[in-house]
Amino acid sequence: MKQLIFNSSNLKETQTFAKKIASCLNKGDIVFFSGPIGAGKTIMVKEIAKFFGVKDKITSASFSLMKKYFGTKADLYHIDLFRLEEGEMFNLGFEEMLEEETSLILAEWPAAAADFFPKNRLEIEIVLQKEDKRKIILKANTLAYQKMLEKLAKKIKR
């Protein structure tokens, strides 16, 4: 496993970091966002959506569980499983979504359905710290995302 840790001091820094993450992502990629309520998961999703040319406003997906957005560079599925109840998973059209391979999949609160997704994914965990500070931990378990993190690390250094 490879990790990259980014310490954010404020909202702006998280947004800038998310934009850099976006620039290292491709169609078909899957990104998990975990961390407590108000950590900044949706903030990051919005920034990534903007990068991929999504013009529609990203709204909460926790009631619908899944929303699709069309972007100029890639389409995007925003998933929020905060309210997922056991057994609900198979009525959502996840299979079709995963077969598409042309959309980006960004999932908040993925834990309840983690086994349902392919192992080849980027996992982001946001840890709340004092006031506006956040520790953002990116974990890559596969070669593809380990390479992605190497690319991202170079962009952060600049």
Ligand X SMILES: Nc1ncnc2c1ncn2[C@@H]1O[C@H](COP(=O)(O)OP(=O)(O)OP(=O)(O)O)[C@@H](O)[C@H]1O
Choosing from 4, 48, 77, 134, the residue that interacts with ligand X (CB under 6 A) is: 134
CB of 56 to Mg ion, least distance (A): 16
Instruction: For 79, list phi and psi in degrees, rounded to 5.
Output: -115, 140
- Using CB under 6 A as the binding rule, whether residue 39 contacts ligand X is answered as yes
Choosing from 4, 6, 21, 40, the residue that interacts with ligand X (CB under 6 A) is: 40
Name 108's Cβ contacts closer than 8 Å, sequence gap at least 6. 33, 34, 41, 42, 45, 61, 62, 78, 79, 80, 81, 82
Length of the chain, in residues:
158
- Using CB under 6 A as the binding rule, whether residue 11 contacts ligand X is answered as yes
CB of 42 to ligand X, least distance (A): 3
Handedness of CA 148, 153, 156, 158 (dihedral sign): negative
| Of 39 and 74, CB closest to ligand X | 39
- Using CB under 5 A as the binding rule, whether residue 41 contacts Mg ion is answered as yes
